[in-house]
Structures are given as C-alpha cells and as structure tokens.
Structure 1
C-alpha cells in the first residue's frame, strides 16, 4: 500500500509499522490523534478557500463601485489600479458581459483555463451545480445578471483539449450606475485539495481495516 510521505514520517516517529497495529494503546491513540488533526486541517483548508473566494468577490465589487463614483478625470487611473489588482490575484478572474462572453481575464485564469477565453462563452465549458442540480449556462447568466451571487465549490471545467479540471467557482454581478453591466467570475483549481481528501479517505479505510 502506498502511503503519503507525511504519514510515513508520522509512523516512523512513533516507531509504528504500517503492516501491523501497535500493541501499545497509548501509542496507537497518539497516532490516531495526529490523523484526526489532519482531518481538521483539511476542513480548515476548505473554509479558507471559501473565504478567499468571498473576499475576492467583495473586493471586486468595491473596486467597480469606486470607479463608478470617480470623476471622469480619475476614471482612467482607477481602471489602471483595478487592472493591476486583478492581474495580481492568485485566483483566476474573468469579466463577462451580459451575454456571458469573456471581455477580460487575468493571468491566473489563463493558467487554469489552459488558453485565452476572450470572446468565448466561458460557462458553456463549466459544469456548475446549485443545490445538487446542474445549471445550464443561460440560466446561470440570467440569474447573476438579475442580481444573484452563485457559488459552487465542486464545479468542473472542461478545457478545449478535453481535460477535466475540478474548480471552485464564484459568480457575482457587476453593477454600475445602478444597473448590472456584466458579471465577474473567480475560479480556483482545487485538484490538490481533492487529492489530499482522497489520501485521507484511503488512510481512514486503512486504519479501519487494521483495527
């Protein structure tokens, strides 16, 4: 059985053999305590991911509001400032028009998407779920443009080359002059997070089998 390197190190520290449980109850409980902490850390990672997406969405909405409130002489400077912030995001970001076409994106989005999405119907390549039901791209566009904020922490992106990428996704309206002019999309590749969750699940099963 292949074990994660971190687990192997924990076993070695406690002088445990992966093929047989220890006779020392205290030693076994100590090991289980470390495994329990790994689950706690994994849950914390999911929470931080969710908060990160929410903060990105809030910051974007505030920045668009600042541009709207600026005098004409300051609009260009505010837009440059906004562009610099977007490009520095570690999360992917795309701005879509009312038809769902991509009008701008940052470098992180290009890396996640695998190519330049400009002018493309981004949502047509994303499997997005709301309350367990997969939504069509048109429905997502209509709902966000009507003022809703939608989120799926287990969405899936299908790249043009057919590669499927698990992503966390947040969509929110961009409002200027009291009207929705488009919407923003923040996305993050969660492949590493899911791989960690699978390792923890395999470990849990292995512990159950050896108990």
Structure 2
C-alpha cells in the first residue's frame, strides 16, 4: 500500500492557562501512525484523547512539538471542522472560491464549482453574506460542501456529520458515500458508532495521546465500547 500520511514519534502539548503555574497538557505523546491511500479510517477515544489535535497536525494547521509528519506532496488535504478555516469578512461564496484556488484550481475552474457548492449548502442569500454572520451550523455546511465538492484527495472530518437538521445530515452522508471512491482517503472523528461502521473499514483508538489499538472497525470498536462500560 502507498502511504498518504505518516506520523513518526509525534508529540504535542499545550500550555494551561489556569493557575498561572506554567503547567502543560500533553495532547499527543510519541504517536506513530501510517495512513495509506484510499484508507477509510475512523478515530475513536474519550474526550481529550487527542483526536482533534491529531487531525489538525495531519492538516498542517498545527506543527507537532516533536516528531515528524510526512504527507505525499501531490495529494491535497482538507479538514472540515466547526468554524475552522474561513475568513470572517469574506462571504461564503468568496471563501469557497479561495478554498478552491488554494487547492490548486485556476480561478475560472474554481468559479465553475461555486453554484454547486452554494446549492448544496442550502444557505440561500446567506451564501453572499459575510461568514462572520453565520451560525456554527451554517459554517459547517459551507465547509462540508467546499471540501467535498472540490474532490480533495485526503478528507479529514471532525464531528461534522452530526451538525444541522436530520434532512441535511442524511444529505451529507449520501453525498459523502458517493464521493468515497477507492482512491480517496477519509479520516473521520465521530461519536456516533453507526457512522463509523458505515464509512470506515479501519479504526484507530486513541487514549491519552497514544494509539491504544489499530485494526478492523468491528474489532477495535468492540474493544473500545467494552472499555467504556
């Protein structure tokens, strides 16, 4: 299998503001993980296990405090997460255009995607309003549509399939299922078990910033769910 992402001995810690004593929270610790091209990988773990931090490091938003992160240079990547990655003073349409151009499209090619993105979001007139006026759900709709419809090679999803009303959630899952081709790599953080079973063939269980288990969806989910009982 050809690797899409490879993390070697990755560590990440954050300063704690409370108490003013200079303490730190170790989010990830000597984490080793390889994600192959075409993997449909689910990340599970308790709150604070390091799932969202790991996605942000994969996406290049955070630089790891230690260790190395390698990504196949020819692959594009997008992280879809609540309120992440938009310029607040630009409209939804302008943000979608910017995202497309940053992923390597020409301006004319990017513009050809804007109507489809706007239609999918169901934002109506708000598509041409500044993102700073959006609710978190509206921002997520825009982010999901932009990342999905631009055919990003590696798609990182952080709890976004549970946002919006039931009709939009169903629509998002159906659209994602259609876009999950054999060569597209998907990494999903989701607290709903059936969403991971539906999408992922492999699951990594994180605990205290380290990989506790890595294997088939049924095997790792069973171990994780039993540990929570």
* TM tier, smaller: under 0.3
- Which entry has the higher C-alpha Rg, 1 or 2? 1
TM value normalised by structure 2: 0.24
TM value normalised by structure 1: 0.25
Between the two structures, name the one with larger relative contact order (CA 8 Å, sep ≥ 6): 2
Q: Which has the higher helix share?
A: 1
